[in-house]
Amino acid sequence: MSTITQMPTATKYATKCRQKDCQWEIFASPLEFTADGQATQKTMKFIQALSQHIATAHPQQFAAFMGTFQESFGLLTLMHFLIEDPTLHRRFNFTRAGYFRMTQVARISDLDIQEKAGRLWDLPEDERPAALVAMLQDMRDVLTERGKYSILDNPVSGIVQP
Ligand SMILES: [Zn+2]
């Protein structure tokens, strides 16, 4: 039997629709997950309420959502196979890259790169190679959400911290 991990039930949080001009929101107590990370019935009902809102209030977004859902099913299926077909391989990578862009939180602008690279020239010449390596590693960590930029410590934008 699995145990349920939950926060105090008295605490409720607002979850607001992000669609333009929509004021819909729901107040719910924190989600529950079993010790092995599975969602409970309560959690599934919460997610159902959100998806039902999208389906009824924003049918165009819901249609796109369902297309994305089918793509994600295909992507998750294909991940378990070595793909020889180059067309299927390209499609797999196109879908995978789309998910990456859709879920990516961190971004590095050209201005960010110019500022970081510009700081290298302030250093003594013999310190630049190590500083360049550190700068590239830091940018990698930002883009791959590891280390101090880990998504576990820095929630996705759109999720409001209480
Ligand atoms: Zn809405």
Q: Where are the domains of the chain?
A: 1-57, 60-103, 110-149
CA of 13 to the centre of ligand 1 (A): 17
Instruction: Report yes or no: 158 and 18 within 8 Å, Cβ to Cβ.
Output: yes
User: What would the pLDDT profile of 86-120 be if each residue is shown by its tens digit?
Assistant: 998 888 888 888 888 888 877 888 999 999 999 99
CA of 25 to the centre of ligand 1 (A): 8
CA of 63 to the centre of ligand 1 (A): 14
CA of 20 to the centre of ligand 1 (A): 8
CA of 43 to the centre of ligand 1 (A): 19
Count how many residues are written for the chain. Answer: 162
Query: How far apart are alpha carbons 53 and 65 in whole angstroms?
Result: 12
CA of 24 to the centre of ligand 1 (A): 5
> Per residue of the chain (162 residues), what is the pLDDT tens digit?
445 555 455 578 889 999 999 999 988 875 666 677 677 788 888 888 999 999 999 999 999 888 888 888 888 898 898 888 999 888 888 888 888 888 887 788 899 999 999 999 999 999 999 999 999 998 888 888 888 777 666 555 444 433
Instruction: Report yes or no: 58 and 21 within 8 Å, Cβ to Cβ.
Output: no
